[in-house]
Structure 1
């Protein structure tokens, strides 16, 4: 089974589009490592939760993206490739943009080599609570992405 490395919850206030003004939606962005699943050389430098892109939240877009990328010897995210995305047009684009900004630090002081990674980002929203969003993402991660 995939190794869950990070779960993030963000309260998103939406005030445009077909959604009611000032209505609160609870959004969850879940990051799951696909490869490798352990023995990482690098970890994210900024452990703050990934933010649900406001453009996606305003449109009510939910789904997932699987991305492959390299972490350079200097801890930069490089060569980001979208393997699959549902819905392809939106989540792949925003996931790639988000991932390109991530910086990485070595897990141990001994290793400073590059690393190839594949991960899955799940974007889930719920109207009632943070718990509802979390549960929706747990269910979503069991589904194929693409």
Structure 2
């Protein structure tokens, strides 16, 4: 399966786990429809935090979801299509996407839209900038095992 990465939003978090500071980044990338064809775009002002449950376990990875956005711009349904590591990102990813607000693309009428999005969960680096750079690089890689 081939995915085209279009646009990414990145949110950073810092955790103190066992006396060590971990920097985490959650990045949303729209896969389909393409940015010019989409009726809804992710609201860049929404800032989800890196899931604490994943940070405590040191879990990082990526997940592809099918998301349905209703005519009011709210996430109506979320289905996991694929993730690495398998299944461990399903619950935290769904939780983030259910809360994600969407903004209508300019010049389009509000309607229901089915989207495919990718969430990257990244941990690492010695600073916020390093974590963000690591996640940007991870988002460019395939989300396959």
Give, in whole Å, the separation in 1 of the partners of 2:77 and 2:70.
10
Q: Name the counterpart of 2:48.
A: 50
Q: CA RMSD in A?
A: 1.9
Shift of 1:84: 0.4
Residues 1:38 and 2:41 are matched in the alignment: no
Q: Deviations over 1:33-70 (max 9, x none)?
A: 10012123123457232210011011110001000111
Q: Name the counterpart of 2:6.
A: 3
Q: Name the counterpart of 2:15.
A: 12
Contact (CA 8 Å) 2:39, 2:108: kept in 1 or not?
A: no
Q: Name the counterpart of 2:26.
A: 29
Matched length: 140
Give, in whole Å, the separation in 2 of the partners of 1:128 and 1:106.
37
Unaligned runs of 5+ in 2: none
Give, in whole Å, the separation in 2 of the partners of 1:5 and 1:144.
15
Please, what TM-score do these two structures have when normalized by structure 1?
0.84
Runs of 4+ in 1 over 4 A off after TM superposition: none
Q: Name the counterpart of 1:142.
A: 140
Contact (CA 8 Å) 2:61, 2:121: kept in 1 or not?
A: yes
- Mapping for residues 95-110 of structure 1, pairs under 5 Å: 95-108=93-106, 110=108
Q: Name the counterpart of 2:70.
A: 72
Unaligned runs of 5+ in 1: 15-19
